[in-house]
Structure 1
Amino acid sequence: MPAAFGQAAVGAPPRLRDMVGGGNLVTHLAGQSPQLYQALRGVGARMGRMDSYGWRTLTRVPTPHDFDAAMNEAHDNGITPLILLEYDGSYQTLDPPQPIGSYQDWFATGQAMARRFRPGGDWGREHGIPDFGATIFTAINEPDVQATIPRQAYHDALKGLADGVHSVDPHLRVVPGGFATCNSNRDATLRGYGPAIADLLEDGHLDGIDLHTYYNDRWYPITKGREFSAQTCFDRIKQAMGLTRDIHFYSTEFNVTRAGAWDDDRILGKLFLSAVWDQLAVAGRNGHSPATVLAFPWNLGDTPRVDGPHYAMAAGENPWVPELRSTVFKRVLDLAGDLTIVAIDRARGLTQLTGRGADLFVWQDMPGWTDRPGRALELDLPSWTRSLEIWGWDGLRRVEPATPGRFVVDGVDGNETYMIRVPR
């Protein structure tokens, strides 16, 4: 494994809009996904989770061409895919059974997928678009829910996938499919699947972990502080694995549940904005360097007819109409999509972003999220400051003159997340 693999990419940090997206772009439904592509374009996202249930034969021979039509559709819509190879423990009981397969089976799959779909791969060359392709390959979504896959077989599958992908290009990223049980059961071992792959995270076979977070007023209340955050799960899981290497954070599913006390637009909007920044501003081992690679809400394209009211982020179908949470998400990308995160202060609940057009300070002004909750925030503003804008979940609250250096923003209501924009 090359020493550089798994380290942060050299060069400029990513813009926020290149870290966000949605899913699923299901391969066998290629050509039938206008709603989701409308949603991705509507909020200003640039990525999509592309998943396949037909990526190999019953004899475990990889069939990468299953992705071809969906890749065409993604390219035409300006969406960069993250590839997910679906496998569920229940497949072992099908007729005929579909066992997870060996290290060699998964090596062959990783090699075939990377050869075809990496930027500059066979698919791109065939279509005359060599600069387009997938750089993140994932497999086996939520193994900790049913917890029926043998842990060693799970480990060997992911090791085989990673070795196969890296045999083509060592800089491509391989990540296990999302985990659910730190969120749903407060289980930092992920029912044993976390420690089972600790060595693959430690040595760089795997770039990071994907955590699914569904905030809920009863089971995972973001209102009760950082104990119920993506950061807390990320840190507890790494501790349970005994990791010493810094790894990256991924989230291909998160949302705030519209239910119970949170079935109210004002409450839901406030909490969803806080959840978005919880996901985007996860920090690494030192507590202040950004660790998040991507953050995808679930599900931008679904209406209550499809997904029920809890997680549906669309109010209308084809044409897509945004539900409240999609509107909040779009507002974040309108303000910060072209910015990059440069500093995270977990104690103060403060995240700073910068870019050509502005600096942005995000303040999680809620009990348990900042050591200084209240109506005022002291900032160190850049030398070119002339004014600032205070934004909430529902839009622009006010604009006021400001001066460089130490400056106190006051008169906010508190108990919510604020985005303070300093235009250049």
Structure 2
Amino acid sequence: MSGAVLVAGARPWGGPAVDVRLIDGAIAEILPSGSTPRPGETVVEGRDRILLPSFADVHVHLDSTRIGLPFRPHTGAPGVWSMMLNDRANWRTAEATIAERTTETLGRMIARGTTSARSYAQVDVDAGLERLHGVLAAKETHAERATVEVIAFPQAGLLREEGSFELLEEAMRQGADVVGGIDPCQLDRDPAKHLDLVFGLAERFDAPIDIHLHEPDQLARFSAELIVERTRALGMTGRVTVSHGYGLGELPREQLVPLLEQFAELDIAWATIAPAKPLPTLLLAEHGIRLGLGEDGQRDYWTPYGNADMLDRTWQLAFTNGFRRDEDIEHCMAVATVGGRSVLGTAPALRGRLDRPGLAVGDPADLQLIAGETVTSAIMDRLPDRTVLFRGAVVADGLDLVGAA
């Protein structure tokens, strides 16, 4: 994708209109609006829309999606283990294969502005590696439209069922990018052994780590402290992400702040899905902790929510935090775009809640044009008039993919 592109008449982060030249997949020049295109240059009409970095969904379960299939009433019982068993009882009877479902949903995500994603692929004694292969198929199909990292994810834990760890290890051999973990205390009930297996595998494959943490307050704190210990001892600074972690947000400030200081010291990132009990989003920004946003499951056997649209999830992040001021709502957009890229290691951390990066010369030309008077109004209205670029080429327009996969 090396051809020159001129994005004409767009408003970076809702500011004054400019023209933006893209060359070799990066922003090459910021020019006055109305600049003359070069011979042979492709022009993308901004039409006074807002220019933003594209979304990075850093917590999505593509392997469980039912997006595009007939609606199915939610049947899961409360609790991670019960929900997992409900998924096991139903995922094979879907109206489409795993590869078809993951590919369809990833395509819808791209059409709505997501060009970077980190997806889980459930690896356990029930699914084997079938779900991993489905996510890898979607990644390959859309390789010219989005960058996807795949997490080998032990949804059922590593210690409850014989053979679980061996499958996780094989998943890393077969193309997974990230080693997953889950609820070391509450699910496997042997946090030291669980985390030793996860960190040991990551060390062997030179891979980052992403750990689901659904545990409540003090239990989450204990697990987080063990994660901190291993991150420090194994030199894994900058390579560990805690997903969810909403129990940590329930800790009293005198317990939470020292933990956040250690997260900042070791550059432990955080991924949220904007839950009903929100994380202390602005406090994380104050401590310089990398925070990204994701959609989690999407209309699957776990939840009826989710629609492949990160602009909706950005609204949810602002809403659940109770934000009303424009700068705080815009910070949610920064988290959903460049914040997610920072979790993936492809962008630096946001420098506080007023940082609006990603549109300077030299930045990747992974961009989106969205309609709206301001960034806040665009988040509130979530209009369909959007154009999505990946590596400087248009890959979606008007919520439809452009070009052959």
Q: TM-score, normalised by structure 1?
A: 0.41
Q: TM-score, normalised by structure 2?
A: 0.43
